[in-house]
Amino acid sequence: MSTETPSTAHVERHGYLFGHPIAHSMSPLLHQTVYDGLGLKWSQFPLDSLDMDLFLKLRRDPNFYGKQLTDIRCRALVVTWIIGASVTMPHKVAILKHLDGLTPEGAAVGAVNTLFIRQDQASGKRLYMGTNTDVIGIRDSFYHNISDPDASFHGRPGLVVGGGGAARSAVYALRTFMKASKIYLVNRDRSEVKAVIDECTARGYGSELIDVSTVEQVEELEGPGAIVSCVPDFSPKKKEEKQARRVLECFLRKPHKGAVLEMCYHPSPWTEIGEISQRLGWKVILGTEAMIYQGLEQDKFWTGKEIHEMPIKRVHEVIAAKVNEARL
C-alpha cells in the first residue's frame, strides 16, 4: 500500500482514484481515454491508501480537474466549478461524513463512489458532494446491451446474487430504473440478506424484496428477467455456498431467459456464473460494461459533457484490449 502522492506537474487538472487495494483497477485508463478524446490535459492518479486525512488534504488542491460552467437551473446565471475524484473500497461509506451533500442515488444507496464539487454562489465556499454512479453503470449495462427490455426484463422479477454494497446498488437500479416487479435475493448468508432488506426498506426502496434460500422456494416463483451477480468468481465449497449456487441455477433453468450482468471482472470478466448462465440460454453482460458506464457517468459530473459527447466507442476498445491483454 502506497501513501506517496503522484506527481501532477504535467497535467492541467487532476483527480484521484482513492481506495485500497486498487492495483487492478482500470479506472485511470478509462478516464484517460475520455480526457484524451475530449482534448483535455487531465489525468486521474491512483491513490492506493487507507489514509483518509491524506485524501481530505489532497481534495483541497485547486488543480483538481474542473471546468467553468454556466448553470441556469436556478433562474439565474451561476458560475459553477465541477471537480472531483473516484472513491472505492473501503472508503465508500467512510467518506460520507466528510461531504456537504449527496445526490438522490448517493443518499439512497448509503455509499458513494464519486466525489464532485460545487461552489456556493453566495459564499464562494467549495461544497464537496457525493453520488453513486454504480447504479447508473448497472442500469446502462442492461439498456445498452439488451435490444428489447420489455421482452427481456421489464415488468418481471429481478434477482440479485450477493449481500454487499454492490447488491444494494443492484436493488436500487432494478427497483428505480428497470421496472422490476419484485426482487429476489440469493446469498450464502441469511444475515447479509436481512441487512440488505432492512437497509433498503429504511431508505424507501425495500418493498417486495424476497429472500430465496431453497430450491423448493424457487419452484413456486416466477422466473426473473434481469439478474445481477455481485459475488467474486469462485467455485462454491462450503455447504451454504453450494446451496446458494443450486438456488441460482434453478432460477436460470426457468423457461424465461433474460439477461445476467456479471459484476465481477477481476481477474477476468469471463466467470463461472457467466458461463453457466450462457450455457442455459441467458444473455450475459460482462462486468466491464458496468465499469465503463459508471465511469462515463462520473465524467459527466467532472467535465460537464453528456455521454454522447464522449468517445464511447474508443473507451470500449481500450478496455476490451486491456482485458484481452490480461488473458494472455
Domain extent listing, the chain: 13-132+294-327, 136-285
The Cα–Cα gap between 135 and 132 comes to 6
Burial class (CB in 10 A: 0-12, 13-18, 19+), 72: exposed
- Measured at the alpha carbon of residue 113, what is the angle toward residues 152 and 277, in degrees to the nearest 5? 30
Q: What's the length of the chain?
A: 328
- Measured at the alpha carbon of residue 113, what is the angle toward residues 110 and 115, in degrees to the nearest 5? 105
Q: Output the nine-digit C-alpha cell for 116.
A: 464532485
What is Dmax (Cα atoms) for the chain? 62
The Cα–Cα gap between 307 and 212 comes to 37
Q: Output the nine-digit C-alpha cell for 251.
A: 432460477
CA distances from 122 to 84, 217, 304 (A): 21, 57, 22
Q: Output the nine-digit C-alpha cell for 157.
A: 422479477
Fold match flag (13-132+294-327 vs 136-285):
yes
Q: Output the nine-digit C-alpha cell for 13.
A: 487538472
Domain 136-285 in CATH 3.40.50.720? The answer is yes
pLDDT at residue 117 in the model: 87
Q: Output the nine-digit C-alpha cell for 12.
A: 492541467
Mean pLDDT by 10 residues, the chain (328 residues): 55 89 94 97 94 92 54 34 78 96 95 91 88 98 98 98 94 98 98 96 94 98 98 96 98 98 93 98 98 97 95 97 82
- Annotation: CATH topology of 13-132+294-327: Rossmann fold (3.40.50)
Q: Assess contact for 253 and 220: CB atoms under 8 A.
A: no
The DSSP string of 229-269 is E-S-S----SHHHHHHHHHHHHHHTSS---EEEE---SS-S
pTM of the predicted model as reported, rounded to 2 decimal places: 0.90
pLDDT at residue 123 in the model: 86
Burial class (CB in 10 A: 0-12, 13-18, 19+), 58: buried
pLDDT at residue 82 in the model: 40
The Cα–Cα gap between 140 and 152 comes to 15
pLDDT at residue 10 in the model: 64
For 238, residues 6+ apart whose C-beta sits below 8 A from its C-beta are 188
